[in-house]
């Protein structure tokens, strides 16, 4: 009886938050000047990067042979990074913005549950991301025209970008729910995303370098994790869907090469020879992009759960304390 009522409350609370918020957010964003502005900047950055690359390589003799592959590498890397940071920054204002606008209490006092509110906010950012991905399709078509990249690989790049945006968007949402000010939430979100994308690989690179013995590098045992945390970075997944001849992106390209080496052991797919030597023979295992999507899904779940707890005026442990009549915890400021 109690369980069925709880389930009914959960279901209704979820629907009462998710559907109205999704509709309102989409309507609001379509009316705001911010979305066209952000979309313009985003497309300008992507197309600007591609045009700059074409201009810089206009006199290279083997230009047309490698252009498609290199352009694709540039595009995939740029798309992943842009979506990751945009998603985090946009979601970081979702809840704190409600507090600052003083609409937070009005939202919480409705029949919408905290989970419904958070899911509504998150799904609206998903829609936002989808729009950004769709907006980038014409550029992807340009890349495809140069040839050399199968459609499946292009699809994987889009999927990877989307997962990066979803996970880091959820991180931004969690910060937005926990911190009261949008400014603080944006800063924390961007720093966290930066640390997850670049920091994990830099740390893994330092650790690997410090452990390296003189002589040939012995392959790690199959399936043994070398640095599991590198899969929190989309750059670790990019080698799976990028050409072997590198990515023409400063810093990120180098990190992708590092992750190409590190990912081998972690994924149970390792190089039999030195990773920087001749092309390696790989043993089968979970591909890096699949690992990244799994990790990103976990990050999303944890972040959304944290956010839902943070917006709940009466979190479960507090309710339990009150119903048990135990001593109250240190009171927090209103």
- Binding stretches for other proteins (CB under 8 A): 9, 12-13, 15-17, 19-21, 23-24, 27-28, 31-32, 101-103, 105-113, 313-314, 318-319, 322-323, 328, 331-334
Q: Do residues 142 and 50 make contact, with C-beta atoms less than 8 angstroms apart?
A: yes
CB of 127 to other proteins, least distance (A): 16
Which residues lie across from 27 on neighbouring strands? none
**Closer to other proteins at the Cβ: 30 or 40?**
30
CB of 323 to other proteins, least distance (A): 7
CB of 82 to other proteins, least distance (A): 25
Q: Do residues 75 and 249 make contact, with C-beta atoms less than 8 angstroms apart?
A: no
- Selection from 194, 196, 191, 211 nearest residue 261 by Cα: 211
CB of 21 to other proteins, least distance (A): 8
**Closer to other proteins at the Cβ: 25 or 240?**
25
Q: How far is CA 300 from CA 126, 163, 195, 293, in A?
A: 12, 9, 16, 10
CB of 27 to other proteins, least distance (A): 7
Distance CA 205, CA 255 (A): 9
**Closer to other proteins at the Cβ: 36 or 222?**
36
**Closer to other proteins at the Cβ: 5 or 61?**
5
- Cα 81-87-93 angle, rounded to 5 deg: 140
Distance CA 189, CA 166 (A): 13
**Closer to other proteins at the Cβ: 6 or 52?**
6
């Amino acid at each position: 009886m109690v369980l069925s009522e709880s389930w009914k409350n959960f279901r209704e609370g979820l629907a009462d938050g998710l559907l109205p918020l999704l509709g309102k957010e989409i309507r609001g964003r379509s009316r705001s000047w911010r979305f066209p502005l952000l979309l313009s900047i985003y497309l300008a950055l992507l197309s600007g990067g591609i045009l700059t690359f074409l201009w810089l390589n206009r006199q290279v003799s083997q230009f047309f042979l490698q252009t498609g592959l290199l352009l694709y590498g540039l595009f995939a890397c740029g798309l992943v990074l842009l979506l990751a940071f945009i998603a985090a920054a946009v979601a970081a204002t979702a809840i704190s913005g409600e507090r600052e606008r003083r609409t937070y209490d009005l939202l919480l006092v409705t029949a919408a549950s905290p989970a419904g509110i958070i899911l509504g906010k998150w799904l609206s950012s998903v829609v936002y991301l989808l729009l950004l991905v769709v907006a980038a399709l014409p550029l992807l078509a340009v890349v495809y025209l140069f040839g050399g990249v199968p459609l499946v690989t292009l699809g994987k790049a889009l999927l990877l970008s989307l997962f990066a945006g979803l996970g880091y968007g959820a991180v931004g949402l969690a910060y937005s729910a926990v911190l009261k000010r949008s400014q603080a939430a944006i800063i924390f979100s961007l720093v966290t995303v930066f640390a997850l994308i670049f920091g994990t690989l830099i740390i893994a690179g330092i650790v690997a370098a410090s452990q390296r013995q003189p002589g040939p590098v012995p392959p790690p045992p199959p399936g043994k994790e070398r640095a599991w945390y590198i899969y929190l970075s989309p750059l670790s997944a990019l080698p799976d869907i990028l050409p072997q001849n590198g990515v023409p992106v400063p810093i990120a390209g180098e990190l992708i090469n590092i992750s190409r080496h590190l990912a081998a052991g972690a994924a149970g797919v390792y190089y039999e020879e030195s990773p920087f030597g001749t092309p390696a023979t790989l043993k089968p295992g979970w591909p890096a992009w699949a690992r990244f999507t799994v990790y990103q899904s976990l990050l999303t779940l944890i972040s959304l759960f944290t956010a839902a707890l943070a917006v709940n005026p009466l979190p479960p442990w507090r309710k339990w304390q009150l119903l048990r009549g135990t001593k109250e915890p240190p009171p927090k400021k209103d």
